[in-house]
Structure 1
Amino acid sequence: MSHVERRGKNSFRLVVTIGYNEKGTPIRERKTVKAKNQTEAKKMLTMFESEILTGKYIKTENITLQRLYKEWLENVTEDDLAPRTKQEYINILNKRILPLYGHMKLEHIKPIHVLNFVNSLKKDGARLDGKKGPLSSSSINNCYKAFNSILSFAKTMKWISDNPAEDIAIPTVRHEETEIYSVKELLTFVEHLQTLPFRWQVIVALALSSSARQGEIAALEEKHVDFDRGGIHINQALTVKKEIGVTLKETKNKRKRFVSLPEELMVLLKKIIHIRKQEDFKAGEYREWPGHLFLFTNEFGKPIRPDSISQWWGRFMDSGEFKELGLKRIRFHDLRHTSLTYLSSKGLRSKAVQNRAGHSRITTTFDIYGHGIDDDDQLAAAYIGEMFKKEAK
């Protein structure tokens, strides 16, 4: 038998009888809740009783951080965290947080514990790779976010009333200077582009022209190429999941955007789409990923792994042909920084740079590419087009 007991203004105790002991005394589960009135409290009683009957009820006073981790692991999905982010948090929780606090009950974890944890990361010896010195500001930030994520989940589940990590101050992430090409170096590099195999010529040109990330480039399909407007729609990205392989996901920050491209690159995209369609026809019943026509695939339509782009780039950086150019080594991701910095230096308006970067906040754009800026997205395509002087073949 279950019933509701009033405990005070807007406070009620839910009581559910779950059985009887050997003496015939009722065994009851109780839970105090806040409700507007008796009717709302009775609805909460029904839900409470259902949780108990289905085995989903957890006594909050018995929940340790280790137990919470298991619930967080099962219930926090891709809608809440990107796969790579969740995996990073899993690593941090297992290597840093659970060894220290996993045994503690949630009700005993206070802001001072989170603060002590964050401060410990600023000290020499905090690195797990054996190197001297504290963690970088971005690593400390990620460790805090992992702690905050799991405690935020506990608050959402009503297992704690307040998140002890919520108001803890963390170091501001300092964006380290990245290696980018100067205008002179950029023009030297672009002139060499046409000597690359066609696929890589298009991929590198896209990185420079659209400022897209490698996962976004790998996920481009025919339907994303807009010849009427002269550009591409960046609506998705590819990622690699453990034990699953390549899968589609939303773009970083879940921002969809249209990016104008120079005419020379649109010609290259038209050519690669034609090649893909021919391969798709030949593959017939053996084609993979039916319903998709990715721009960069194997002969059966399976899209390339996004990390294969940076892997190829590393091999290209080590090649003799690259060394003959006399250019410094940079990461593939730095082509994105090179492009956006080039556009900022040309006076492109901050909002247009933000759109091409796919940043959710303009402050991020200012932090990284904060130069004097003026004009719009069409100018971006025109500026990039200056690098592609030779007629596309």
Structure 2
Amino acid sequence: MASYEDLGFGKFKIYVELGYDERGNRKRRTKTITATSERDLNKKIRDFEIKCFNEKDEPIDNIKFSSFVDRWIKNHVEPNLTLTSKEAYEYLLNDCGVLEHFEKMKMKDIKKYHIVEYLANEQTEGKPLIPNKYLLLKSIFARAFEWDVIKINPTSGIKEPKREKRTVDYYNESELNHLFKVLENCYPKHRIMIKLAAIGGLRRGEILGIREESIDYENNSIYIDKQLRYDKNKKQFYLAPVKNKKPRTVYFPKEFMDELEKYHLQFKARRMQMGNLWKGIYDDDGDMINLLLVRDDGYPTHLNTMRNEWDKIKKRYNLKHITFHQLRHSCASLMVKKGINFKVIQERLGHANIGITLDLYSHLEEDQHKESVNVFEQLF
């Protein structure tokens, strides 16, 4: 028996019930698909249902790639990884063609050459995310080897594809000064959000995950330990640990903290005025999560809304085009220019290790290297 859930934007999640296993546990397979019409949707549901019933008694030592991926998600991804990682893996599998390429092949028949050839073809055709697809396949086959589904791991010894060198665009000091002048004419919430990125180097999810109790006005700091996420399947917001699961305290200028406190007081007055109409979100214990940068009715602000508002401000004031995330780069670039220690920059941005920080921003030290010559000029 098959059913489906409408995920929006032409995407649907199909559920196929396969009865119960020998332990009495419910057996169900799922697949996310894109459908262009109701007829197309019904056809894909039917095809997946037939496929599931044809494979339901598939011996583990003869299992196909698509069947093993379902078990890999159920037994490894869902219990051990975050929802964000699960969504990223499903995107690579379903939207980027990995599942389509390998799905009919038996796990035991997939050799190292098949994977090398697949990655090489992807590179030749200029398709993105090749290193991510490699890491996905590496994880799948590592679990298959660990669980004795295959005797040899075909990804073993395959060199990870090189990632393209990321170019970092940002606002320089004068451009940041101009931005802050422009922001004086903007809606207070949007002004606060942009400054949190440009001064604090915070990510979008971290900004929206700030709660009232995160703020320390006495020490001019904000404790960053959560990020706001959105579960597309459940259609609800939730708080997750920050990236790398390393909370950090970020310090801000007193002038900004005074501005934030003024906004905070207005926010509390609005919430009190709204009363029962306030649409906050709640934790597992039923307590309201005191998010600060929310919509006027108290409901969380979506990450895409923040990006869209930033695009409007850029267009309205004819600002140089950089993404909202690159405001974070602007923060780091200014600190590099001012000679701030890279370890301090790493901790402020919440990078997992200093290597990431050096890789992104070390090229900005070129001017400092040139200026260092001036130290010796007085000797001549």
Which TM-score applies when normalising by structure 1?
Answer: 0.72
Following superposition, the deviation at residue 190 of structure 1 comes to 1.7
Question: How far apart, CA to CA, are the structure 1 residues paired with 2:349 and 2:225?
Answer: 13
Paired residues for 1:101-120 under 5 Å = 101-120=102-121
Instruction: Indicate the residue corresponding to 1:68 in structure 2.
Output: 68
> In structure 2, do the counterparts of structure 1 residues 264 and 58 end up closer, same or farther at CA, with 3 Å as the change threshold?
farther
The partner residue of 1:254 within 220, 245, 255 is 245
Instruction: Indicate the residue corresponding to 2:311 in structure 1.
Output: 314
Instruction: Indicate the residue corresponding to 1:270 in structure 2.
Output: 261
> In structure 2, do the counterparts of structure 1 residues 140 and 161 end up closer, same or farther at CA, with 3 Å as the change threshold?
same
Paired residues for 1:86-105 under 5 Å = 86-94=86-94, 95-105=96-106
Question: How far apart, CA to CA, are the structure 2 residues paired with 1:53 and 1:232?
Answer: 50
Instruction: Indicate the residue corresponding to 2:6 in structure 1.
Output: none
The one-letter amino acid of 2:264's match is I
Contact 1:230/1:261 (8 A) holds in 2: yes
Question: How far apart, CA to CA, are the structure 1 residues paired with 2:101 and 2:245?
Answer: 34
Deviations 1:121-173 (A, max 9, x none): 111xx3xxxxxxx135xx11111122223223334444335532243212222
1:210 counterpart SS class: coil
Contact 1:109/1:164 (8 A) holds in 2: yes
In terms of mean alpha carbon deviation, does 95-104 or 217-226 score higher? 95-104
Question: How far apart, CA to CA, are the structure 2 residues paired with 1:185 and 1:53?
Answer: 64
Following superposition, the deviation at residue 66 of structure 1 comes to 0.8
Q: Confirm whether residue 236 of structure 1 aligns to residue 221 of structure 2.
A: no
Unaligned ranges ≥5, structure 2: 1-20, 28-56, 282-286, 367-380
Unaligned ranges ≥5, structure 1: 1-50, 127-133, 374-393
> In structure 2, do the counterparts of structure 1 residues 186 and 109 end up closer, same or farther at CA, with 3 Å as the change threshold?
same
Paired residues for 1:156-235 under 5 Å = 156-235=146-225
Paired residues for 1:336-351 under 5 Å = 336-351=328-343
Instruction: Indicate the residue corresponding to 1:291 in structure 2.
Output: 288
Question: How far apart, CA to CA, are the structure 1 residues paired with 2:243 and 2:156?
Answer: 24
Deviations 1:212-265 (A, max 9, x none): 011110111111112233211111111222141322212122221111111011
The partner residue of 1:149 within 139, 142, 159 is 139
The partner residue of 2:355 within 334, 339, 363 is 363
Following superposition, the deviation at residue 331 of structure 1 comes to 0.9
Contact 2:172/2:333 (8 A) holds in 1: no
Contact 2:168/2:360 (8 A) holds in 1: no
Instruction: Indicate the residue corresponding to 1:38 in structure 2.
Output: none
Q: Confirm whether residue 282 of structure 1 aligns to residue 273 of structure 2.
A: yes
Question: How far apart, CA to CA, are the structure 2 residues paired with 1:162 and 1:269?
Answer: 57
The number of equivalent residue pairs is 307
2:230 counterpart SS class: strand
Following superposition, the deviation at residue 372 of structure 1 comes to 5.0
Contact 1:118/1:170 (8 A) holds in 2: no
Contact 1:286/1:300 (8 A) holds in 2: yes
Instruction: Indicate the residue corresponding to 1:44 in structure 2.
Output: none
Question: How far apart, CA to CA, are the structure 2 residues paired with 1:75 and 1:236?
Answer: 26
In terms of mean alpha carbon deviation, does 274-283 or 204-213 score higher? 274-283
Which TM-score applies when normalising by structure 2?
Answer: 0.74
In terms of mean alpha carbon deviation, does 247-256 or 230-239 score higher? 247-256
> In structure 2, do the counterparts of structure 1 residues 70 and 194 end up closer, same or farther at CA, with 3 Å as the change threshold?
same
Contact 1:225/1:232 (8 A) holds in 2: yes
The one-letter amino acid of 1:310's match is R
Question: How far apart, CA to CA, are the structure 1 residues paired with 2:112 and 2:326?
Answer: 38
> In structure 2, do the counterparts of structure 1 residues 298 and 352 end up closer, same or farther at CA, with 3 Å as the change threshold?
same
Question: How far apart, CA to CA, are the structure 1 residues paired with 2:135 and 2:244?
Answer: 16
Paired residues for 1:103-142 under 5 Å = 103-123=104-124, 126=125, 134-136=126-128, 139-142=129-132
Please report the RMSD computed on the Cα atoms of aligned residues, expressed in angstroms. Answer: 2.4
Question: How far apart, CA to CA, are the structure 1 residues paired with 2:307 and 2:75?
Answer: 32
